[in-house]
């Protein structure tokens, strides 16, 4: 998270993940642009098309639970630099956008810890890696994208790009057969407005699964607060030309972003963690340095440990 964006490109991140996987005995698969096209990751590919840096998807697998045991999928947003695309951010808004891949970095860190601890659980880590730039081939406001699961998306803001990446990666996790899903993303400034810089926002379609994640976070000393997912919020995402819009307006922005993601998880038990606030510290504090914090790595490892200990 702290490294410069010229180094941590989608390809640079994927290379580091591959090196770490070899050290730890994790199964690693990296999808290039051709494979992403074959896998119908069209929403994710749209975000990447304005950049000269090609996208990547990294898949890491820890098979500690054996065959026939359920799998937890950890999905991370990996926008290695976010300019906002054609909905260009002001300069001040870009200053920390090298940290927009913190969700993917959290998944990578958690997978490394799970492998080192040799936890008796099956976990797959999926990291969607793109750079969001305003190049001549950038996706445009008014475009209608078709995600992997067939849902069509009207683009009304190219700076609401992380959810477009996660849409396809979550859909792949469902297709792959994961029983439980957790995604992590520096997704919305609205979550920071609601909860401040030190608290992660949680959203779910399965209260029991969310309670497990919240309990793990509490035991690790990480602050998480659950926000509502009322059906009425779906009204804000309705589009006249597609199944859904990629933004829901000014109000409840963290919740409408989560409601958008919910359309790509089918009926699987899912928790979305918005780490936009706590993933990157703007200054030093007595208990930690400024910069990347590694928030939620401990929680994910604890969730995996408890899931491995529970009866199948």
Q: List active site positions.
A: 89, 163
Buried b (16+ CB within 10 A) or exposed e, 137-154: ebbeeeeebebbbebebb
Residue 295: φ, ψ to 5°: -60, 145
CA 56/CA 123 separation, integer angstroms: 20
* Three-state secondary structure string covering 81-143: EECCCCCCCCHHHHCCHHHHHHHHHHHHHHHHHHHHHCCCCEEEEEEEEEEECCCCCCCCCCC
Helices 102-117 & 10-24, crossing angle to 10 degrees?
10
Helix (H, G, I), strand (E, B) or coil at 28: strand
| 23 class by beta-carbon count within 10 Å (0-12 exposed, 13-18 middle, 19+ buried) | exposed
Alpha-carbon span 210 to 51, nearest angstrom:
36
Q: How far apart are CA 165 and CA 103, in angstroms?
A: 12
Q: How many CB atoms lie within 10 A of CB 245?
A: 21
**Are 56 and 32 spatial neighbours (Cβ–Cβ below 8 Å)?**
yes
Q: Rounded to the nearest 5°, which phi and psi values hold at 27?
A: -75, 130
Q: Please say whether the beta carbons of 152 and 244 come within 8 A.
A: yes
Closest among 254, 267, 207, 259 to 235, alpha carbons compared: 259
């Amino acid at each position: 998270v702290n490294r410069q964006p010229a180094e941590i490109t989608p390809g640079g991140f994927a290379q580091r993940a591959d090196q770490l996987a070899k050290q730890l005995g994790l199964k690693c698969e990296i999808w290039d642009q051709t494979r992403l096209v074959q896998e119908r990751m069209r929403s994710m590919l749209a975000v990447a098309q304005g950049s000269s840096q090609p996208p990547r998807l990294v898949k890491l697998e820890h098979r500690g639970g054996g065959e026939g045991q359920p799998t937890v999928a950890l999905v991370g947003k990996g926008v290695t630099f976010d300019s906002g695309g054609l909905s260009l951010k002001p300069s001040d808004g870009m200053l920390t956008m090298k940290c927009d891949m913190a969700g993917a970095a959290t998944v990578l860190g958690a997978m490394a810890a799970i492998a080192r601890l040799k936890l008796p659980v099956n976990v797959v880590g999926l990291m969607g890696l793109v750079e969001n730039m305003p190049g001549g081939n950038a996706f445009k406001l008014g475009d209608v994208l078709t995600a992997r699961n067939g849902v069509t998306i009207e683009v009304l803001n190219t700076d609401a790009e992380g959810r477009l990446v996660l849409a396809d990666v979550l859909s792949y996790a469902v297709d792959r057969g994961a029983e439980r899903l957790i995604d992590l993303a520096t997704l919305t400034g609205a979550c920071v407005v609601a909860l401040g810089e030190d608290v992660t926002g949680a959203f779910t379609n399965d209260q029991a699964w969310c309670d497990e994640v919240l309990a793990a976070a509490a035991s690790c000393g990480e602050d998480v607060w659950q926000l509502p997912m009322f059906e009425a919020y779906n009204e804000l995402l309705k589009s006249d030309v597609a199944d859904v819009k990629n933004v829901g307006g000014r109000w409840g922005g963290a919740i409408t972003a989560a409601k958008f993601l919910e359309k790509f998880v089918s009926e699987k038990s899912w928790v979305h963690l918005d780490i936009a606030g706590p993933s990157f510290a703007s200054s030093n504090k007595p208990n930690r340095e400024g910069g990347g914090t590694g928030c939620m790595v401990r929680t994910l490892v604890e969730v995996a440990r408890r899931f491995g200990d529970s009866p199948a």
